[in-house]
């Protein structure tokens, strides 16, 4: 038995706002079709968020929590692979058991996806470093050990300037990661390409139709941040829908199917 994946980057068309709404509808449909898998992969987001919050609270360094919350959506694509694989198999009427999905995701560890994931992690860590520098520049002389008890610091003129500047810088980092991964990760799952080609393909698509992709990116970020508010529990619903929807958006804008490469099993 052989398995095949199309070779080379796909030909992509410009998305429309209707593609966004239809992708979300398809994402909800896939979550309803495989809720157990959706909840399982979403649990990684929830546990990571709770662990992140718990560490900062226990160590008395909750000022890091703001940086983590602002950067948290950057790493969302790392756990989306399970949603992509589930949607792909549902679309192909393939096996969608827990064993089949997790085995398929695990086999990606030796491919190109870890390289893109590593780049995203590096960007996230650099954002932490830069965010801490921004804190120091604006509030370095302010007595602050716990943002939960010193919120007035952020409401001061200097604090508001820091929040505005930090948000703008964080937005740039988020857009860079979004541009690389919005189509880059689905391409790597679906095609026989290297991670550089996937990144270039994704960035090229975003640059080609920035207004639609910007709305999509903002929508994903806002929904994610809102879902994080009730102790990250909203991510159990938001992440599966958004993850499945991201796969369907990729499928909707893919217009050509290059020749497949046969890999002996």
Question: Percent of the chain at pLDDT above 70?
Answer: 82
Query: CA-to-CA distance for 193 and 198, rounded, in angstroms?
Result: 7
Phi first, then psi: what are they for 148, rounded to 5°? -70, -25
Q: What does residue 112 show for φ and ψ, rounded to 5 degrees?
A: -90, -20
Residue 12 lies in a domain: no
| Segment 11-33 mean pLDDT | 96
60 Rama class: left (phi>0) / alpha (psi -120 to 50) / beta: left
Give me the count of residues in the chain: 265
> Is the whole-model pTM more than 0.85?
no
User: What's the pLDDT at 265?
Assistant: 38
Is residue 185 one of the residues assigned to a domain?
yes
> Does the residue 9 lie in any domain?
no
- Look at residue 194 and tell me if it is in a domain: yes
Query: Considering the domain boundaries, does residue 5 fall inside one?
Result: no
Nearest alpha-carbon partner for 76 in 231, 219, 248, 230? 219
pLDDT for position 27 = 96
**Domain enclosing residue 92, as ranges:** 25-264
User: Is residue 236 predicted with pLDDT exceeding 70?
Assistant: yes
pLDDT of residue 62: 62
Do β-strands 2-6 and 260-264 pair in parallel, antiparallel, or remain unpaired?
antiparallel
Number of domains in the chain: 1
CA atoms lying within 13 Å on the CB side of residue 111: 18
Does residue 56 belong to any structural domain of this protein? yes
Q: What is the mean pLDDT of the chain?
A: 83
Between 253 and 151, the more confident residue is 253
Q: Is 158 exposed, middle or buried (0-12, 13-18, 19+ CB in 10 A)?
A: middle
pLDDT of residue 161: 87
Residue 117 confidence class, pLDDT cut points 50, 70, 90 = confident
Residue 4 domain-assigned?
no
Does some domain include residue 209? yes
Residue 93: pLDDT above 50? yes
Summarize the confidence of residues 191-199 as an average pLDDT. Answer: 93
Largest CA distance in the chain: 66
């Amino acid at each position: 038995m052989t398995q095949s994946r199309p070779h080379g980057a796909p030909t992509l068309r410009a998305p429309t706002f209707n593609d966004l709404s239809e992708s979300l509808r398809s994402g909800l449909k896939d979550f309803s079709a495989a809720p157990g898998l959706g909840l399982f992969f979403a649990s990684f987001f929830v546990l990571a968020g709770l662990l992140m919050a718990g560490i900062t609270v226990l160590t008395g360094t909750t000022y890091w929590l703001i940086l983590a919350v602002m950067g948290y959506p950057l790493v969302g694509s790392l756990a989306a692979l399970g949603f992509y694989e589930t949607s792909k198999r549902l679309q192909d009427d393939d096996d969608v058991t827990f064993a089949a999905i997790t085995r398929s995701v695990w086999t990606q560890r030796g491919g190109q996806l870890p390289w893109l994931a590593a780049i995203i992690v590096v960007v996230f860590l650099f954002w932490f470093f830069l965010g801490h520098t921004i804190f120091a520049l604006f509030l370095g002389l302010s007595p602050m050990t716990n943002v939960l008890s010193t919120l007035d610091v952020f409401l001061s003129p200097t604090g508001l300037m820091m929040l505005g500047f930090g948000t703008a810088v964080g937005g740039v980092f988020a857009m860079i990661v979004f541009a690389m991964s919005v189509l880059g990760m689905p391409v790597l799952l679906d095609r026989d390409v290297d991670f550089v080609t996937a990144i270039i393909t994704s960035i090229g698509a975003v640059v080609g139709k920035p207004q639609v992709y910007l709305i999509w990116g903002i929508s994903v970020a806002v929904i994610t941040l809102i879902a994080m508010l009730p102790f990250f529990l909203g991510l159990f619903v938001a992440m599966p829908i958004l993850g499945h929807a991201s796969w369907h958006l990729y499928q909707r804008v893919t217009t050509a199917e290059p020749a497949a490469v046969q890999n002996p099993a």
